[in-house]
Structure formats: C-alpha cells, structure tokens
Amino acid sequence: MLQYKPFGDAVTVVIAGELDHFAAPQIRRMLDDVIRDPAVTDVVLDLEKLTFMDSSGIGVLLGRLRILQSRGGTLSVRNMQPSVEKLFRLSGLQRVIRIEDNKRGGRL
C-alpha cells in the first residue's frame, strides 16, 4: 500500500490502491511514521499506483502538508491517474500542493 525511499531530507512515497474513508487512517499513520523524523522536510507522493481517492484522502494530504510546512518543508505529487488528477483540480489542491512532471526523479 505504501513504499518510501529517502533521499537526505527528502522522501519519495508511493501510494498504491485506494485512499478512501477506509484506507485513510492506515495511510495517515504510515505517512506520519515517514515524516516523524524532523530531518524529513520534503515529501514527494508518487500516485501512479493510486487508483482512487476521495475527500478522506484530501484530508490526509492536507494534514501532512501542514506538518511539513510547519518545519519549512513541502509536499508535492507526481504520476497521478486521470481520476485522481481530476479530483485534485476540482478540489483546488493544485493551489497548495505542487504537481511535479510525471516520471520525474525515477521510480521505486
């Protein structure tokens, strides 16, 4: 469901499957474990394998964004499936979470 690879103060996290009401608590805990280290300031979420996201997923992303911003960090996403990208744009998330070019930075 979640893989991550650290690069100094940055971490790339791959989220797979669905990020909905049922999966959100588990993914939130996993992301919190990744960013628990205060040295981690920048997180890139690779969403290529994320097939569905709802408003619960939006809440998970915004919560992690707040934590990272409180320490001067950033949260960005890449490789979104069309349905996830549509939700991103309709909800206005692209105004607060940067969308990177697809396939940028390699794969896990």
Look at residue 1 in the predicted model and tell me its pLDDT: 66
Contact by Cβ (8 Å): 7, 42: no
pLDDT tens-digit profile, the chain (108 residues): 678 777 777 899 999 999 999 999 999 999 999 999 888 999 999 999 999 999 999 999 999 999 999 999 999 999 999 999 999 999 999 999 999 976 544 443
12 sits in which H/E element = strand 10-15
Q: What domains can be seen in the chain, in order of their start residue?
A: 2-99 (3.30.750.24)
What is the pLDDT, as a whole number, of residue 77?
Answer: 97
How many angstroms separate the CA atoms of 88 and 77, rounded?
10
Alpha-carbon Rg of the chain, whole angstroms? 12
CA 51: distance to chain centroid?
Answer: 14
Spatial distance between the Cα atoms of 81 and 59, rounded to a whole number of angstroms: 19
- Residue 107: φ, ψ to 5°: -125, 160
